[in-house]
Chain A
């Protein structure tokens, strides 16, 4: 479980997160939603221990991330930041293998190589494993970075807008893979597409202006009234062919 206790993060003069307290259960796919500037990425970075909070605490599976050593955190949480710029000449296999760094610190063993190949297989990257990451399309590149985070074998995967700039085919493909993974690991994902959140997430955390608006099971948090208030525009949660979709009701 991830426990946020009065988490407050300041960035310069701005309060990016203001006294956030909630619990996020493991083994679920949790969507973090909210308008631009709500503090979603800041929340992920604070959970991963990359930002020191001004006040409050983040405990991930019982570990206070602000007090933990880098290596301890890296064995507990894999964070996929927004940018997926690649190092020149780096192949997909080499990129995925970097996910094993917290385990081997530069001296890979057979178990690390096995985990790398498993991550490559899990994200169907076999045919691309020898290709340089720079030569991949946006969707393929995102899959490679996700495989790297997966290879880290952490109980938690925090993903910052992994669907940005992906077409519907890659979006569905990646979300289905993440759904599968969420059965074995906690997956937190920052999403802008509310229909994707409504369709794939189990749990939802809604932020606005650095403040927590709601946290709980999807059906309780993704309501027409709450979303309209969150985004300050009329939105409606409808059901089309049995699936929840969020439509613009303006």
Chain B
């Protein structure tokens, strides 16, 4: 049954993607199709990366209310943008070449996250709570530093920072997108390969170790993949904190199974379908009256508040 539902999700994503590409398509067809296809690829990449990363993170943390954002990815991204504008100025920030900027940000986020995971998990994955709390505190620290720097900026520079830290799918450059898409494909393939191992890890550290799983190594590898996925997605368009929670919760509801070889693709497809469908609605019906990221964050935040009192976290 779960496999059939996964197939249905695949069909749904194909439908939504076709709708995004073809709805209200006018001449010049080739130009518009290329433009839409590039945006579609960005939406799918970000949605899939966020959904897949969240499912894996929730398994490792043994908590279905958490998203990788809790360890401070968003705050670090805000800090990087603020630091760039602070040091280079608004004009300097605007002239930064997209590809090196994307690579630098993605690398910085990945290194920061894997260092945090590596340092804090050295004493064993039993220290997950310590890792999460350290992430939260580091996030607050980075936000505080970014806030301080923002107060010292000119109003025009502050506006540039504000624009840079809200996820936007309207302008996505081809170079970074290609790298992000390839990275996503590789990370998803690695997660697919790890699927049965993640199923065992979900039983808990002691139980997994008694079954012969090198649990701490598996946890670190999984978290490193999560770091890569979230870093690439954040560096590409900006932070979308609650999209993962939305995608993971819907994946658990849509595919009632514990196997990660089904759950990870399900969350990836739902994350992609949410973004593609939402963007289609915003562009074609609402005439870009608001930013999709803000609505996604609002819906995800609302879901989080609903999940906290009503559902068992595991």
**In the bound complex, do residue A73 and residue B212 qualify as a contact, i.e. CB atoms below 8 Å apart?**
yes
A74 near B212: Cβ-Cβ < 8 Å: yes
Q: Which chain A residues lie closer than 8 Å to B5 at the CB level?
A: none
A50 and B212 contact, CB distance less than 8 A:
no
Q: Would you list which residues of chain B between 26 and 45 have a CB under 8 Å from chain A?
A: none
A106 to B199, CA, bound (A): 10
Provide the main secondary structure of the chain B interface: loop
Contact A87 B202 (CB under 8 A): yes
- Determine the interface band of chain B, counting residues with CB < 8 A from chain A: 20 to 34
Q: Is the CB of A90 within 8 A of B197?
A: no
Are B204 and A85 neighbours in the complex by a CB distance under 8 Å?
yes
State which size class the interface on A falls in: 20 to 34
A203 within 8 A of B: no
User: Does the CB pair B258–A74 fall under 8 Å?
Assistant: no
Chain A: CB-nearest residue to B195: A106
For A81, list chain B residues within 8 Å (CB): 204, 206-207, 210
Known: A81-B206, A106-B197. A101 touches B213 (CB 8 A): yes
Known A85-B314, A98-B200, A106-B197: A90·B211 in contact at CB below 8 Å:
no
Cβ B211 vs Cβ A102 within 8 A: yes
With a CB–CB cut-off of 8 A, which chain A residues contact B206?
A: 45, 50, 79, 81, 83
Which chain A residues (74-93) contact chain B, with CB distance < 8 Å? 74-75, 77-79, 81, 83, 85, 87-90
- In angstroms, how far is the closest chain A Cβ from the Cβ of B94? 48
B residues neighboring A (CB under 8 Å): 196-197, 199-200, 202-204, 206-207, 209-214, 252, 256-258, 314
Q: Which residues of A contact B (CB under 8 A)?
A: 45, 48, 50, 70-75, 77-79, 81, 83, 85, 87-90, 94, 98-99, 101-102, 105-106, 152
Closest 10 CB pairs of A and B: A74-B212, A106-B196, A102-B212, A71-B212, A79-B210, A101-B211, A70-B212, A81-B206, A89-B258, A90-B258
Known: A45-B206, A81-B210. 5 other contacts (CB 8 A): A50-B209, A50-B210, A70-B209, A81-B204, A88-B314
